[in-house]
Amino acid sequence: MHTANLVMTVEVRDVPPDILPFVQFKAEVEGRKLEPTEKVCVLVIGSTTCYIPVFLNEPMSMADLEIMLERQDAQLSAAARYVLSRHLKK
């Protein structure tokens, strides 16, 4: 199982250009209209460049996030779990 580490928690307008396409793709998949002020956490799987955005304006539950990560053979690091637990639904 791979570890999902927290890269950043920022507003969409502050996402670096090399990570922005991941955020835009995830928004399209979810049918979400991105606003520049929307907060997003960005996770990275292990030492890869596989970025997983987690939108915080209408957050998913921690359980749903864990299920999504399990499908990708990943789990949250302790630090990422701590930060996300403050933003996500129980």
Query: What is the maximum span of the chain, computed from C-alpha positions, in angstroms?
Result: 34
pLDDT at 47 over 80: no
Q: Which of 37, 42, 38, 35 is nearest to 16 (CA)?
A: 42
* Predicted local distance difference test score (pLDDT) of residue 12: 96
Please state the domain extents for the chain: 2-85
The per-residue pLDDT for range 53-65, each reduced to its tens digit, is 999 888 788 888 8
Quickly state the pLDDT bin for 39 (edges 50, 70, 90): very high
Please give the structure tokens belonging to residue 8: 């950043």
| 57 burial via Cβ count (<10 Å: 0-12, 13-18, 19+) | exposed
* Predicted local distance difference test score (pLDDT) of residue 49: 83
The pTM score is 0.86
Q: Which of 19, 88, 18, 21 is nearest to 55 (CA)?
A: 88
Quickly state the pLDDT bin for 90 (edges 50, 70, 90): low
